[in-house]
Structure 1
Amino acid sequence: MSLPSRLFICAYLLSALAMARAQTTHAAETNLQQANAAFHAGYAAASNGDLNTARQQFQRAVQLAPQVEEGHSALGGVLYQMGEYAKAIPELETALRLKPGDQAAHENLALAYTQIGDYQKALPIFDRLENQASQPLSADLLASYARALAATQQLPAAIRKTKAAIAAAPQSAALYDQLGSLYAQMQNWQQAQNAFEQALRLDPQLAVAHLHLGIILARENQTVAAVQELTTATQIDPQNATAQLELGKVFAAINQDDNAIPRFQQALTLDPKLIEAANEWAMALQRTGKEEQAIPLFEKVVVAQPQNAIAFTNLGLALVQTGKAKEAVPDYQRAIAINPNDATTHQDLGVAYLQESNIDDAIHQFRAGLELSPESPQLHYNLGLAFKLKDDLPHAITELETAAKLDANSPDPPYTLGILYMQQGRFDDAAAQLRTALERRPENGDGWAILGSVYKQQAKYDEAAAALRKAIEFLPNQPGTHITLASVLQQQGKKQEAAAERKIAADLTRVAVNRQRATFATNTGNLLLQKGQIADAIDRYQDAINSDPTYREAHAQLAAAYERQGRTADAAAERAKAAALQSNRP
């Protein structure tokens, strides 16, 4: 908010100089004359809006006549108008020591204290100004007074002062925006929305009011309107990092992370210290499967906010998701040190330990989590898995049965129970659990294959064949399932069908072996190519293609090797083959 000049009347300054001159010796006369000229020049520059020149002239005047209060007051006023609040304060304080009754100095000092956040010093001055004023304070002073009150949690008083400011300047959109912000701090959302809407009626281009209204609308789940307001805020003020952040948060809240991510990125670009943007960006990347990109952002967050347990947990999760469980452990431990009563963090740390095959520590963490959240089906399930890995089947089954009771919709506990029951020879129980799991997740091809094997053990060949064919529907390239089905068909006396399944299994096995050979040869070629052994690399790539002509990576790398040999035509041919294989992928 712009403030009117709070300088002085030139004639009043000249009078002060005349008084000072009468009390000086003849030797100081020159200094006073020069100070007088500087005052004239400073006043003229300030009147013309040339604050830099005004500052220089008033500084000169103060140096020449430091005993004249008005010089310090004038210099402080100009420094305030230039936004150099910390430098303005000592000049204004000096002015008031020399002349405690200087109204302009009191006003500027109260405003400057407010600007630097020293509200405890500002408020007594505002109180004095209001109590001693012969007429109401200006809208600018009242608005600043209100901000100081709000900063010291005196919100009702702040609202009264802001309303008084609005009464003095009823066309000020910025004052209505301030009023709305105060209502929002008091969680009076409707009053806040009304004030922001009034601000925008007065000034539709006030970006901050669009921002604040958008935040209120988002809180009220009016997401379409919130997106509109926040988008408008970013269009009017594209350099506003907070507007970009808030718009991204609304997109994230409605599961539009692809739209949210660019907003968070832009917010952090505009303001690298806006840690909330880094955190929101990292979480959005994590949600969209880009954990590797999220890790450095989470690291930035935990450095800036070393007591943010959630950020440490999210960092640990991202590390686990990218196969770096060992690196995740210290971050989870730090999160637990900050907040030891979070069951989810104990669970996540246990999962990290499981990935590191540290089963005993995993069990300890899962049990610690269950002490905090004994009804958590996921913790019971994870503890059951840990016991299973220790071959402690009785304890594993107990935990998995508990998990199944606590979550009647999850397919995981019955699936794992089915496997354990099968290992114990409890085929009826195994089949029942596997059927339950497959009812909840029918696309689980491995589950159908295991159920088919259980039925085979029970000599229920019709059920076994049906389950195995269901498994093949979802996993057609698994040779083992075809082999099991062939065995079942053989038992049913369907020798031709059994032979056909065995042939399919043999073909799939051959394809798998050939792909394995091609992959190995291609990886060897890549190492040779990195060493500059181009001819040897080409041999390996050709070996890979001979093993599996459909392996796209071998064609692409062979093209790169030919390119380095200058064989551009051969390179183009291999690139075309690689592109054709890529386009033929389902």
Structure 2
Amino acid sequence: MIQRREYVNQYVRFYQVLLLSIALSPLAAMTVFAVLRRRVVQYLSQEVRQELENLGDLETELESRAEQADQMLGDLEQRLERHKDQLPDEVDSVSRTVEVQLAEIQELDAFREQRLRELQELLWTVYSNHKSQEQHLAHLTPETLLRHLSGSPEEMDDSSIGELLELPETEPFTETLADEISPDETPLAETIYQAESAPEQPPELDGDLDESLDENLSESDQTSEDDESEPDLVSDESCSQTSEDDESESDLVSDEVLSSPDSREGWLAVARDCERDGRWPEAIAAYEQALTYPASNSPQTPASSEEAKPALTPENSPSAAQETPTEEDATGESSPQSPSFEQLKQVAQEAGDRRQWPACIKACQQALTHKNDAHLYKLLGNALQALGQPTQAQDSYRQALRFKPDFAEVYANLGSLYAQQKHWPKAIECFRRALRLQPQLAAAYRNFAKVWEQVGNEGEALACWQQALAIEPDWAQPQDHLVLGNRWVKLDRWDIAETCYRRAIASDANLLDAWHNLAEVLAHRQQWHTARDTYETLLQKAPQRVMSQLGYARVLAGMQDWDGAMSQYHHLAEVAPEQVFAQHRFAQRLKDEGLIPQAIRVYRRALQFAPESFELQLGLAELLCQSEQWQEGLAAAEKAIAEHPQVAKAHYYAGRCQVAQERWQEAATHLQQAVNLDPQFFWSQYFWGKSLLALQQWQMAADVLAEAMPLNPQFHWGYVELGQAWMELEMYHKAVEAFQQAQALAPDTPWLAKKLADALRGRALADIEEAVNCYRQAIAEHPEDLDNYHRALDLKSNDIDLYVQLADELARQNQDSGAITFYQMALQLQDRPEIKAKLQDLLKKKIK
């Protein structure tokens, strides 16, 4: 772009050098400048078209590369799914290819962004060149040509020589929103409560607005975000539309001027019109006629008695016919009876300040017939909007943006207009643009907050309220700061909530709710000393405020000032006995700190003023059981049961106290009821099982304990009790498993080794008996197999029947000696007549 600009500057200087050879020829100079402007515009237009084509090619290539990358990524994922770790080389190759493609895409994207910026700069150069040329030609006189041709040092240093391609500087925007966005704006506090009725899901926000915002509102947000301090570039469409409007409106002007081109400015206008239509000979002739008039606005010919018309420059008549009045209009303006533009503008402003909207509209419309003014269009839009004419107001706002594209207040008013119509995405976009142009518009932030509330975005709404109050801290009432602080608390933004509460207190030191909430926020952030001081200040103002007394007690507990906290809670038990849960929570806090006696005192003190409180009775029963005060604990538990018999914990504490007193049957009854109400509470099931063991209900005890242990598998005493129940049922295998689990958890448990050994012995004996029974079955199936007899006798050597069966089989097999031996062994175990008879028969047989 710099090289292109240097080239054009050289092009301009070339024609300036050419002018030096044309000695004092104004006609030739005007012709050269006209041709120069046309060629420069043609050259830049060609450059723009070429850049657009290049940009389109880049977009196409970028999309193609993106598609290739997506396809390669998809192929890579499919190959990974198919092959997993089987083809690492192929995976690496594809990965490298994808990385190369991504790098190229990033490079193309960066190049596209660079070309886009260059194109935007070129467009602005064309626009500024067009305006600069108009200004040069409109003010060109023979005297200025002579000064340029003379080449004096002062003129050579003049920066206006290179003005053709210089970007115009933007003026800083310092105006403020003079009026509220909506005439009937509701107070902040009312709006906050209205936010509760907002829809649950906000609508999706469109990035582009419809044509009602004109082309200025549909420009790319990316350009604004890259550099918010720079003015938005006008799109090609808006430029062409403006150009067409200028041409059509200029035609209306030229129709009037050509009827009497008796001034320098009139002939210049004719020349420009001819030049725009490509009628170059007529344009040269018109410029030649223009040079015959001096540059002043005095009468141009001796015979002329009319005043010269004002010069048709971009400042006073760039595009609209109504900006350049006709001869009759000019004559009317000069008469004393017709008010001037400034007078009409002042009347319109005063009527708007008094909210006399019809008079304001009339004055604005009359003033706009003289001259287009962005502020008047805005004021007209305000009046139309206040009178319920949104479409006409929208048109006025568009006109204001046309003449002043960076008019932040107009964008804000458009946002308010769309908000009234519930076009939330458009309203949001308008407010965003307004605040980018003018970040100090507090009223815009307030109305933007209301829009966010309507779409249900509490975080954005509060952020806007915070910005508005940062700009105008005195605008809100103390109650408004309080409500905002409460809303920030709901979003867990305690720091901002603290700021809001402090602002409320600074505005109204007697706003007690703000003091209380500030102390609560400080306590939440564990700034205990500051919270304590805040509560003490509040309680000096309102010593009977119960909620603040509770907060003060909590802060003392947070500081671990237990004596002070107990004194405060004792006082609260008397003055506010209904605060049962506060007393209960404090007692539980003392219990967690290991201060059991102090916690019991808190419960007993509170029960003096609320004796029928179930929560206090239950909490007291818990602590009494924990401190092994069984009789008092049983009394407290029974009182709790009397209040709420369907609470499992109350039955558990009663049963636990009775277990400690070995009142097994009553304990089993309470504990069974506790299990029925809450079967997932381990201790109720455990102590119920233990009570059943004491009652020698072995099977039921085993079932209850077996069901309880999965709830607390790390409690080894439960396995001991369960193993003992299985031992009583002679289920030695399950007893061994239970004792082994207890041993794994606590191997030093007293008497556990003996219990496990007994279980193992019982299991072994049971296994031997089972094995012998199996051998008996085998003997019945194959009595000739003598090995079965011997194996069975190895396991059970005192079994007489086995000896007799073995002797009978040996006698049948004619092994008399062996049979005699086993008969004798059986008789040694037990003297039976039938065994003696068999032995005698066998001996007689052997003697024969």
TM-score, length-scaled by structure 1: 0.42
**What is the TM-score of this pair, normalised by structure 2?**
0.31
Higher Cα radius of gyration? 2
Q: Which has the higher contact order (CA 8 A, sep 6+)?
A: 2
Please identify which structure carries the higher helix content. Answer: 1
